[in-house]
Structure 1
Amino acid sequence: MAANGSPVVIGVGASAGGVEALLELAGVLDADLPAAVLVVLHQPADAPTVLPGLMDKRCALPVRHARDGDDLVAGTVLLAPPDHHLLIVRGRLEVTRGPRENGHRPAIDPLFRSIAVEAGPAGIGCVLSGLLDDGAAGLLALVRHGGTAMVQDPDESLYASMPQAALEQVPGAIVRSVAELGAAFSDLATRPVIGGRRPDPRLVREVAASRAGANVDDEDRPDGPAAGLVCPDCSGPLFDLSEGNMLRYRCRVGHAWSEQSLSSVQDDGIERALFTALQALEDKADLQHRIARTATERGSTRTADRAREAAHHALASAGLVRDLLAEREAGDSA
């Protein structure tokens, strides 16, 4: 327990492959765990979830979705509801539809940052299986505020990307299999909490930006220079919040992006644009062929020749686009 009487807080983040990891984790948590466990799993906004019930059947602790205004209570497991971030704000839980982060709501980084601000050295963050790198930046912030970082062993993760990204930012994180996490949590939660420091004001502002109704005034824009990039969620300008080898960006209204997540969504946008261009070029060729046939029937040779030439150029350009798409597919499978 922290010096102020608040319980130790354990934040757990998971994505692809995370359901399996969370079900296994539920079965190894000790019944007398002296900590509040908060869980974020990437999930579709409109998908009903039975995960809390499934975890509750396997867990010695009560498991349910978090509710806005819940107290932090040791010996409970609370999950972020679909389409809501889960934060700690002034000692209570806040379930909020704030701006998406890394394309997700709920996202892992906002939870970890709020634990860093509210719990400091009494905070523990754990990254489980998942794609890309959500959780890495928040885990680093938590460690910088005296908290403890844990990572599922990438070798046993169904998807190792998130654990590996976390280890790149926090090389000293404790690495355990899911089967070993229950004992590790109990051990860490019973250790004396020593020290603590005033939260970084920039981190406090980032937590505020993850809440619904974040300010968008010039004075409240993100702490960083304009990045010259556009936010994929709102098309607003992104500001550079990068530190060292960790690239991060946030727009004025609060959408935030890590390096891998921004790159992934840009790749998706490029692919959509290429398919749109391919469709437009093939439509143009089809139309020009029709114009050529009609012109030929009217005896308008010059118009027919121009249309056939336009169709030829459109198909040639379409071929180039197809080649680009094939190169991208080959690169993805390499």
Structure 2
Amino acid sequence: MSNRDIIVIGGSSGATAPLKAILGALPDTLAAAIFVVLHIPARSLGLLATVSAAAARLPVHPAEDGLAIAPGHIYLGVPDHHLILEDGRIRLGRGPRENMARPSIDPLFRSAAATYGPRVIGVILSGLLNDGAAGLDAVRRCGGVALVQDPADAIADEMPRSALAAVADGLTVPADRIGDVLADLVQEQAGPRLPVPPEIRLEVDIAAGERIDSGVLRRFADPVALSCPHCGGVLSEVRGARPLRFRCQVGHAYTAEAAAKAQEGAVDEAMRVALRIVGERAELVARMAVEARETGRNAVAEMYEARAAEYRDYTETLRRAVLDTFEPRGGGGEPEA
């Protein structure tokens, strides 16, 4: 029976410092391969140097399609590709973005769970929103171990808290202890292999770039009256998902929180456009009322005046709503990777 020899790590805002601490604490004899996805800009070049400096005792590689996996090596997700694990090698996927990101954490975790089952240790670090929570749930469903950075010492605690909500039995560990805990877990034998839920394999295929259509989507999701923030297509709710998640027929995937964040810009813009149009309508009708008064059409003038007052009420309601959008809000997302 194999040991726990596959470690997958995901994070975003505030994750670089704990990642450096983790990798710096690992021994050069570590008998496990490590895979890392952080939400990074599409043209980011600094992560490789940062991780290489922190993990001085272990070789670090940017992920390459077809690259063989070796224990004691660290593999980093690269911009604009999902990092996917197959048996003994890496695959880079150009499937649709998940939670506005590519690479996204969930595809890495799902592919590890589907391929290596109980040999996987999943680690969620500091970050905004909740990418990685569904992937960590997949790791546990396939028999793996779930570790989560203690939200109390995370710069951004949303991602760790969401992961713990999705995986109630996950281990909560302060960032400066995760490296030691991993070194111990790697020495343990993995548990028995569990059946892989078919929806996990389907979502791995989607991330890899396999074709998706309504027939594929209906195998694990049901259409709802929501549109995809990215392409405008119909969203379907993934059955039994933890956390609540959606996919469109193109394959774009969102947790409910990520979808709400993605919609914010469109909602704000729509309200500003409506404010301008209704305000202009009020001004036009008011001028028409003045003209009607000047030409002795009092009944028409009264009708226009009533309409202008009604439009001004609408304008004030919209103005208050637009101003509310500038109030400070909890949380926040990151730029689309």
TM-score class, shorter-chain normalisation, is: 0.7 to 0.9
Aligned to 2:176, what secondary structure does the other structure show? Answer: helix
Contact 2:283 2:308 in 1 (8 A): yes
The answer on 1:208 being equivalent to 2:189 is no
Does the 8 A contact of 2:133 with 2:242 survive in 1? Answer: no
Aligned equivalents of 2:277 and 2:23: distance in 1?
A: 51
Offset of 1:177 from its aligned partner?
A: 1.5
Partner of 1:2: 2
Match for residue 56 of structure 1 among 49, 52, 70: 52
Aligned partner of residue 25 in structure 2, secondary structure: coil
Relative to structure 2, which stretch is displaced further, 96-105 or 238-247? Answer: 238-247
Q: Please say if residues 26 and 56 of structure 1, whose CA atoms lie closer than 8 Å, have aligned partners that are also in contact.
A: no
Aligned-residue offset at 1:245: 6.1
Confirm or deny that 1:143 pairs with 2:140: yes
Q: After TM superposition, give the deviation of residue 292 of structure 1 in Å.
A: 8.5
CA distance in 2, matches of 1:244, 1:82: 27
Distance 1:155 1:66, change over 3 A: same
Note closer, same or farther for the CA distance 1:149–1:281 as it changes in structure 2 (3 Å cut): same
Q: How does 1:114-125 map to 2 (within 5 A)?
A: 114-125=111-122
Are the counterparts in 2 of residues 114 and 207 from structure 1 also a CA contact under 8 Å?
A: yes
* Partner residue of 2:24 out of 19, 23, 27: 27
The answer to whether the Cα contact below 8 Å between 1:139 and 1:149 also exists between their aligned partners in 2 is yes
When residues 281 and 43 of structure 1 are mapped into structure 2, their CA distance, relative to the original with a 3 A threshold, is farther
Distance 1:54 1:26 in 2: 11
Q: Aligned partners of 2:66, 2:197: CA distance in 1, in Å? A: 24
- Of 222-231 and 154-163, deviating more is 222-231
SS at match of 1:87: strand
Which residue is equivalent to 1:127?
124
Secondary structure of 1:190's match?
coil
Alpha-carbon deviations, 1:131-168, whole Å to 9, x = none? 11111111111111110000001000001011001111
Report deviation, 1:184.
1.1
* 1:109 and 2:106 aligned: yes
Q: For the residues of structure 2 that align with 1:136 and 1:93, how far apart are their CA atoms?
A: 22
Report matched runs for 1:272-283 at 5 Å: 272-283=269-280
TM-score by length of 1: 0.87
1:40-80 CA-partner distances (Å, limit 9, x unpaired): 111233x3231111110121212232111111111111111
Give unpaired runs (5+ residues) of structure 1.
none
**Partner Cα separation in structure 1 for residue 330 and residue 108 of structure 2:** 33
1:290–1:92 Cα change, 3 Å:
farther
Within 5 Å, give how 1:62-81 maps onto structure 2: 62-81=59-78
Secondary structure class of the residue paired with 1:238: strand
Letter of the 1:54 counterpart: T
Provide closer, same or farther for how the CA distance between residues 290 and 172 of structure 1 changes in structure 2, counting only shifts above 3 A: same
What CA distance in whole angstroms lies between the structure 2 residues aligned with 1:64 and 1:300? 81
Does the 8 Å contact 2:220/2:239 carry over to 1?
A: no
Is residue 2:218 matched to residue 1:227?
no
In 2, Cα distance between the equivalents of 1:213 and 1:301?
71
State the shift of 1:86 in Å: 0.5
Give the fraction of aligned pairs with identical amino acids, expressed as a percent: 34
Which has the larger displacement, 318-327 or 204-213?
A: 318-327
Is 1:166 the counterpart of 2:163? The answer is yes
Judging changes above 3 Å, is the alpha-carbon distance between structure 1 residues 218 and 300 closer, same or farther for their aligned structure 2 residues?
farther
Using the TM superposition, give the Cα deviation of residue 254 of structure 1 relative to its aligned residue in structure 2, in angstroms: 1.5
Task: Answer yes or no: is the 8 Å Cα contact 1:30–1:183 preserved in 2.
Answer: no
Paired residues, number = 327
Contact conserved, 1:221 with 1:252, CA < 8 A, in 2? no
Q: Structure 1 counterpart of 2:54, which letter? A: R
